[in-house]
Structure 1
Amino acid sequence: MRLIFMGTPDFAVPVLQALIDAGHEIGFAVTQPDRRRNRGRVTFSPVKELAVSRGIPVLQPERLSKDEAAKQSLRDYAPDAVIVVAYGQILKQDVLDIPKLGCFNVHGSILPKLRGASPIQHAILEGFSTTGVTIMKMGPGLDDGDMIATAETEIGGMDCEQLSEKLSHMGAELLVRTLPSIAEGTAVYTKQNEAEATTCGKITKKDGFVDFTDCARDIGCRIRAFDPWPGCWLEHDGKRIKIWKAECMPGTEVSVKQAPGTVMDASVSGIDVACGEGILRITELQAPGKKRMAAADYLRGHRVPAGTMLRPEPPEEMPEDRKKQNE
C-alpha cells in the first residue's frame, strides 16, 4: 500500500518499522517540528530519526491544519491510507479526506475507554487490570471513529514505560495484520458504544505531585503511571524529591492514626509513609542533581527519622512556572 505515516514519540516507532518491514511504501513521515532541548541542542523526534535513517521524506509542519504546502504534498502523493500513531496534532477534515481509503489510528487503549492524549498513563492511574490497543478509522471527533481490530493485555505491575513498549509492539503487529483487509474492502467496522466512552487529557508536570492524603494504593498507581515522565515527586526541606518505586504495604488498607505524610519508619527496606488510607513504602527515589537510588542508599546520606512530616501540599508555584514568568 501507498502510505503516509504520522507520528512523533517512541510509541510510534515500532509501528513505522513494522510497516517498512512489511513492504509498504511510505511516501512521507509527518512528525512534530524539531525542538531545542538539553541546553539549546536541537533534537529530532524518534519518528524522524527512523525515517531519515530509512530515506523516507519528512514533513514537519508547525500546524498541519494551516500548512497548505504540506497538505498539497500529501495530496500529490495520492496515498491509499494515512496511518496515525501519537502524532500530537488534530487532523481536520481536509486532511482526513486526502487518502483513498481513509486515515487509521493505532490507539493505546481498548476503545471507547480512555479516548484522548494519555490512555496508557490513565489505564495505570485508574487501576485497570487489563488494557490494549485499537485500530480505528479516524473521523473528526476525538478518538470516536469506527473500530476495526483490538488486542488486549494484562497490566500487572508494569510502569508506563514498560506498558508503552508492550502496547506499541502489539499495535504494530495488529496494524500489519489488519491492513490487508482494509485494502481488500473486507474489514469490519464497528461503531463505538458512546455510553461507555471515557476521556483523558494531557499529563503535566504538576500531575506528578504526590498527595499523601490519597490512598496508598492510588499513589502507587500514580508513581507507575508517571514513570518515566513527568515522574512523581514530593517536597521536603525545600527540595523536590522524586519517587520512582513504591508499594502499598499489605494489610494497611484502612486509615492510619498518623497524619498523612508522616514518616512511620525508615530502614533498609524503605521509607514508610502514612497516607489518607494505608501506608506507602518508598523503595527508590532521586534527590536533586543525583541519580535514581534505592531508599536504603538515600538514607545513608540523609536522616529521615520517624515522625518526619513530608510536605502534604504542593507549592503554590512550580519552578517551571517561575521560569516561564522570567522568559
Structure 2
Amino acid sequence: MKIVYMGTPDFSVPALEKMIEAGHEILAVVTQPDKPKGRSKELVFSPVKECALKHGLKVMQPQKIREASAVEELKGLGADIFVVAAFGQILSQEVLDIPKYGCVNIHASLLPKYRGAAPIQESILNGDKETGITIMQMNIGMDTGDILVTKTLPIEDDDTAGTLFDKLMYLGADLIVEALPKIEKGELTPIPQNEAEATKCGKISKEMGNINWKDSAEKISYLVRGMNPWPSAFTRLGGKMLKIWTVKVLDEQEASSVNPDGTSHEPGTVIAALKDNIIVSTGDGLLEITELQLEGKKRMMVSDFLRGYTINPGDILG
C-alpha cells in the first residue's frame, strides 16, 4: 500500500521499520518539529525522523498538521492510507478524509480502555493482568474510532512501564503489518467501541511518583512499576529524595518472619534493614525494597547502598 506514516517517539519506530520491510511504499513520514535540548539548545531529531532519514524517506514536520499548507501537501501525496502511532497531534476531519482507506492508529491498550496519552503506565498502575494493542479506524475523537483488530498481551508480575512499552512497541509493529493487507481487501469489520466501558488516561507527571505510604503495599508496588523508568516512584530519607526502583510485596509468611509479633507500625516505617533489602510498613502490608537511588547518587541494589548508608529500624520514609 501507499502509506503516509505519522509518529514521533521510540514507540513509533518499529512499525515504520516493519512496514518498509513488508514492502509497503512510504510516501512520507510526518513527525513533530525538531526540539531544542540541553544547555546548548541544539535541535534534536525525533526517533522517527532519524529512522526516516536513514531510509531516505520524505519527512514532513508541520507545527500543526491541520494547517492549510500541510493539508494540501498531504492531499498531493496520493496515499492509500495514513498510519499513526504516538504522533502527538490531533488530526482534523479534513486530514482524516484524505486517504482512500482513512487513517488508522496503533494504540497501546485494549480499547475502549485507557483512551489517551499514557495507557501503558495506567495498565500497571491499576494492577491489570493483561493489556494489548488496538488497531483503530480514526475519527475526530480521542481514541474513539471503530476497532479493526486487537492483540492481547499478559502483564507479568515484574513488568514495568519500560518493559511493557518495549513489548507493546513490537507487538504494534507486527499487528499493523498483519492488518494492512486485510484493510486493503476489506477483510476487517470495524467494531464500534462500547462507550459504557470507556476509560481515559492523561499524561504522566513527576508528582504522580510521590509514594503515599498509607496506601497498600500492593498499590505502592504498582506505582513503583508504573513510574519506571519515568518519572520514577520516590519518597524522602533524611531530607533527600529517595527513588524506589524495585520492590516486592511480602506475603503473610514472609511478613511474619520479619515482624513476628504483628506489631502495627506507622506507614513508611522501616521494619528491618537487612543485607539485601529494606522492609517498610504501609497502610496495608509490608513492602520489600531491593533497588533504590538516593538523591545525588547512582541507582543501586540495596546490598550496595547499605555499605555506605545506614538505615535503622524505626526510621521513617516520606
Question: What is the TM-score with the length of structure 1 in the denominator?
Answer: 0.91
1:272 Cα shift? 1.1
Cα deviation, residue 35, structure 1 = 1.8
Structure 2 CA distance for aligned equivalents of residues 101 and 209 of structure 1: 45
Q: Distance in 1 between matches of 2:38 and 2:187?
A: 48
CA distance in 2, matches of 1:31, 1:268: 49
CA RMSD of aligned residues (A): 1.6
- Identity among equivalent pairs (%): 45
Distance 1:189 1:305, change over 3 A: same
Residue 68 to residue 238, structure 1, CA distance change in 2 (3 Å): farther
**Which secondary structure state, in structure 2, belongs to the residue aligned with residue 77 of structure 1?**
coil
Does the CA contact (< 8 Å) of 1:32 and 1:88 recur in 2?
yes
Counterpart for residue 29 of structure 2:
29
For residue 188 of structure 1, give the secondary structure of its aligned residue in structure 2. Answer: coil
Normalized against structure 2, the TM-score is what?
Answer: 0.93
Amino acid at match of 1:257: S
Secondary structure, in 3 states, of the residue corresponding to 1:64? coil
Q: Does the 8 A contact of 2:276 with 2:301 survive in 1?
A: no
Structure 1 runs not aligned, ≥5 long? 312-327
Render the CA deviation track for 1:190-224: whole Å, top value 9, x for unaligned: 11111111111110111111111111111111111
Equivalent in 268, 272, 275 of residue 268 of structure 1 = 275
2:103 maps to amino acid = C
Q: State how far apart, in whole Å, the 1-side matches of 2:159 and 2:54 are.
A: 31
Structure 2: runs of 5+ lacking an equivalent: 257-261
Matched, 1:158 2:159: yes
Residue identity opposite 2:38 in structure 1:
N
User: 1:164-191: per-residue Cα shift (whole Å, max 9, x none)?
Assistant: 1111111111111111121122321111
The change in CA–CA distance for 1:37 and 1:235 in structure 2 (over 3 A counts) is farther
Residues 1:298 and 2:301 are matched in the alignment: no
Contact 1:256/1:275 (<8 A) preserved: no
Alpha-carbon offset, residue 256 of structure 1: 6.7
Q: Number of residues paired by the alignment?
A: 309
Indicate whether 1:54 and 2:65 are aligned: no
| Pair 1:205 & 2:212 matched | no
Per-residue deviation, residues 48-72 of structure 1 (Å, max 9, x unmatched)? 111111111212222223x322222
User: 1:281-313 CA deviation, whole Å, 9 max, x = no partner?
Assistant: 1111112232210011111111111111112xx
Once the two structures are superposed, what CA deviation does each residue of 1:54-105 show, in whole Å capped at 9, x if it has no partner? 111212222223x322222111102111101011111111111121110000
* Cross-structure match for 2:238: 237
Alignment of structure 1 residues 220-259 onto 2, 5 Å: 220-251=221-252, 257-259=264-266
Corresponding position of 2:11: 11
Q: What does residue range 4-153 of structure 1 map to in structure 2 within 5 Å?
A: 4-39=4-39, 40-65=41-66, 67-153=67-153
Q: Between 280-289 and 11-20, report the one with greater CA deviation.
A: 280-289
Aligned partner letter, 2:301: A
Offset of residue 124 of structure 1 = 0.7
Read off the aligned partner of 2:249 and give its amino acid letter: C
